[in-house]
Amino acid sequence: MLGALLVYPVYQLGLISLFRYTQAQVSGGEPAVFRGFGNYADLFADGEFWRVLLATVVFAAACVGSTLAVGCALAVLLTRIRAVPRLALMLAALGAWATPAVTGSTVWLFLFDPDFGPVNRVFGLGDHSWTYGRYSAFLLVLLEVVWCSFPFVMVTVYAGIRAVPAEVLEAAALDGASHWRIWRSVLAPMLRPILTVVTIQSVIWDFKVFTQIYVMTNGGGIAGQNLVLNVYAYQQAFASSRYGLGSAIGVVMLLLLLAVTLVYLRLLRRQGEEL
């Protein structure tokens, strides 16, 4: 049952990606034509695709790195502060987590609005536009992505740290280890399974980021400079009704994510960790 639910959509995706399949074919205006790997050939010959793929990989890597750093740092912080501030931080994080992506993006965009946004006013930036430059627009989206995804990392890692026996940490502290040293040599190795899960989760999540880019850069930014793979696939598949080409992008994304996950698991296994 589970297998069928998982496999059938993937099978359909793969099948459609081999056909010339646009709205005309869906609604029966023209027969579906088998193109073999024609859609993939078109895709790989398109310079835009490679540019978008590169941007997606770099952007996702930056997002994963920042999310993990912020999430882990705050998780450690949570274990060191008193109950009231801890509760406040927890609530703030859960609020960010619970905010729907569209709402979060819109609010974030408003904060940085050139005309009405408080950020420009506080920092005295005049009417500086954050979404105009390619990197500043990506940075803005990155901040939003980190903001809405660090709580998951923080809560999970915090739960992991609480499960670490207190004596171990105490022993390390008595030996004179710094905070950084404790994290590096004691906590991180003990939390490895948890960190693995949140990393893979974040990779998959950030690689597939759609809403934030779509809302905050108005569907891909000035001249498409902020396109990521998922928004690009949406443009090709649904906006332009080229479902065959869109499916091909979907298959490429699926394979990439599968490869990343497998390589990551393989690396871990080589280090002698069984999950």
Partner 1 sequence: MKLSASRASLATLLTLAVATACAPQSSSNSASDRDDTSGTLRVWLFQEVGNEPKKKVVDSVVAAFEKTHRDTEVKVEYIPVETRAQRVKAAFNDPASAPDVIEYGNTDTAGYVHDGGLLDVTKEFSAWPEAKSTDPTARQSVTVDGKVYGAPFYVGVRALYYRTDVFKDLGLKPPRSLAELATTARAVRAARPDLYGLAVGGAYTYGAMPFVWADGGDLADGRSGSYAAAIDSPAARKGIKAYTSLFTDANCPAAKCAGMTGNDTVTAFAAGKAGMAIGGDFSHAAVEAGKVKGKYAVVPLPGVADGSVAPAFAGGNNIGVLKSTRHRTLAVDLMERLAGKKTQSALFDAMGFLPTFTDVRTRAAEREPFVKPFVRTLAAGTKFVPASAAWSQIDSSQVLPTMFQEVVSGKKSVDAAAGDAAAKMNAAFGDAG
- Token pair for 136: 């500043």
Q: Is 237 in the site for partner 1 (CB under 8 A)?
A: no
Q: Is 11 in the site for partner 1 (CB under 8 A)?
A: yes
Residues 200 and 53: their CA atoms lie apart, in Å, by 19
Residue closer to partner 1, measured from CB, 262 or 267: 262
Q: Is 12 in the site for partner 1 (CB under 8 A)?
A: yes
Q: Is 255 in the site for partner 1 (CB under 8 A)?
A: no
Is there a contact between 105 and 212 (Cβ–Cβ < 8 Å)?
yes
Give the shortest CB-140-to-partner 1 separation in angstroms.
Answer: 13
By CB under 8 A, name the one of 29, 124, 176, 272 that touches partner 1.
29
Q: Is 35 in the site for partner 1 (CB under 8 A)?
A: no
Residue closer to partner 1, measured from CB, 112 or 158: 112
Give the shortest CB-256-to-partner 1 separation in angstroms.
Answer: 15
Q: Which stretch binds partner 1 (CB under 8 A): 57-65, 81-89, 152-160, 235-243?
A: 235-243
- Token pair for 86: 């801890």
Is there a contact between 80 and 88 (Cβ–Cβ < 8 Å)?
no
Give the shortest CB-184-to-partner 1 separation in angstroms.
Answer: 28
Task: Map residues 75-114 to x or -, x wherever contact with partner 1 holds by CB under 8 A.
Answer: ---------------------------------------x
- Token pair for 230: 């998922």
- Give the 3-state secondary structure of the chain: CHHHHHHHHHHHHHHHCCEECEHHHHCCCCCCEECCCHHHHHHHHCHHHHHHHHHHHHHHHHHHHHHHHHHHHHHHHHHHCCHHHHHHHHHHHHHHHHCCHHHHHHHHHHHCCCCCCHHHHHHCCCCCCCCCCHHHHHHHHHHHHHHHHHHHHHHHHHHHHHHCCHHHHHHHHHCCCCHHHHHHHHHHHHCHHHHHHHHHHHHHHHHCCCHHHHHHCCCCCHHHCCCCHHHHHHHHHHHCCEHHHHHHHHHHHHHHHHHHHHHHHHHHHHCCCCC
Give the shortest CB-84-to-partner 1 separation in angstroms.
Answer: 41
Is there a contact between 31 and 275 (Cβ–Cβ < 8 Å)?
no
Give the shortest CB-128-to-partner 1 separation in angstroms.
Answer: 8
Task: Map residues 113-152 to x or -, x wherever contact with partner 1 holds by CB under 8 A.
Answer: -x------------xxx-xx--------------------
Q: Which stretch binds partner 1 (CB under 8 A): 141-149, 157-165, 174-182, 259-267?
A: 259-267
By CB under 8 A, name the one of 111, 173, 186, 222 that touches partner 1.
222
Q: Is 21 in the site for partner 1 (CB under 8 A)?
A: yes
Residues that bind partner 1 (CB under 8 A): 3, 6-8, 10-12, 14-16, 19, 21, 23-32, 34, 114, 127-129, 131-132, 218-225, 235-236, 239-242, 258, 261-262, 265
